Amino acid sequence: MAEATPMIELSGIDVTFKEADRTVSAVKQVDLTVNKGDIYGIVGYSGAGKSTLVRVINQLQLQTNGTVTVNGQRLDQLHGKALRQARTKIGMIFQHFNLMNERTIGDNVRFPLLLGTTLSKQQQLDKVDELLALVGLSDKKNDYPAQLSGGQKQRVAIARALANDPEILISDEATSALDPKTTGSILALLKRLNETLGLTVVLITHEMQAVKAICNRVAVMQSGEIIERGDLLTIFSNPKEQLTQEFIETSTQVDSALANVVSQPRIQQLGVDERLVVLSYAGASTDDPLIAQLYEQFKVTPNILFGNVEILQKTPVGTLGLVLSGTAVDDALAYVKGQGVHVRVIDVPKYRAELANKAAKANRGEGDA
């Protein structure tokens, strides 16, 4: 396998804002490496610091401490014209499109080419045609943004971001305002651009479903810090942090399944030799008849409550919720862990209390910080 080439290297990044009566640490000592050709997802709730962090990449947000290297060049040491030139190789798309309503679609895409380009007018027009064809909007060149759907507007924004042939494309919550079907089409477009143009993509989102759809690597942010990172399969099959588990459970519907399960009287009255567990597994683990082995080797009886299997990066990844019953249930779980399966034992009273707390916050209109 060829050695990965770093495209983005952030080292020791702090971003601190001074307010009237306090200091806000938006990003805290973050190290991050994104390799050439990655689709790297950075996921976190609102206020986690992910958008601030990615704006450091192109120096739209200056860090308080740390270094920023993009494709071997220290951007944090550049100023003026040199920095503006470096930024042309980093395209950005946003949640709200930022199109100019008084200009046609073609003129919106052409706009970056009017600023310091060496292309002739005809070359610029040819470039616009090429980019609109790339995003599937050739027939919309003379329309105006008000005539387009949300998904079409985002495709225009993507075409505009590609005008200067960037090496990196940053998507900052670019699908958050779109419906699920349109979101899927935009994510598929980003994946295709990654494959056909060799673009390195950084995807900022609060939706693990988007990360699952196209990313090969993922970092989870909370309170300005990266709390967990890794390749997509490892994160999904063996999450370490509770927040990561929450994101994954939401994207795989495990959270709703568990909520239904723990509401059942039978589950609220588990015996001393019973465990409610969620097993997460990937790759070769999905081929092993583990459930049958639990009874054969440990005389532990499984009662399957819910399950899900999907394909991530051409690898089967599964989740299984079940109650295990037997005097050797803890030995059985230790065996399962030894087979490379992530085991989460659900404390039913605690889980019910967490659900009640979340529901109370929702009723009070409190979001995730």
Closest CA to 323 of 296, 351, 281, 294: 294
pLDDT tens series, the chain, 369 aa: 567 899 999 999 999 998 778 888 999 999 999 999 999 999 999 999 999 999 999 999 999 999 999 999 999 999 999 999 999 999 999 888 889 999 999 999 999 998 867 889 999 999 999 999 999 999 999 999 999 999 999 999 999 999 999 999 999 999 988 898 999 999 999 999 999 999 999 999 999 999 999 999 999 999 999 999 999 988 988 888 989 988 888 887 888 899 999 999 999 999 999 999 999 887 765 555 788 888 899 999 999 999 888 888 788 888 899 999 999 999 999 999 998 888 999 999 999 998 888 888 777 766 543
Spatial distance between the Cα atoms of 139 and 86, rounded to a whole number of angstroms: 32
Spatial distance between the Cα atoms of 80 and 323, rounded to a whole number of angstroms: 63
Spatial distance between the Cα atoms of 344 and 295, rounded to a whole number of angstroms: 19
Domains of the chain plus CATH, in order, are 6-239 (3.40.50.300), 252-363 (3.30.70.260)
Spatial distance between the Cα atoms of 139 and 162, rounded to a whole number of angstroms: 18
Closest CA to 38 of 70, 4, 67: 4
CA count, 13 A, side-chain hemisphere, 229: 15
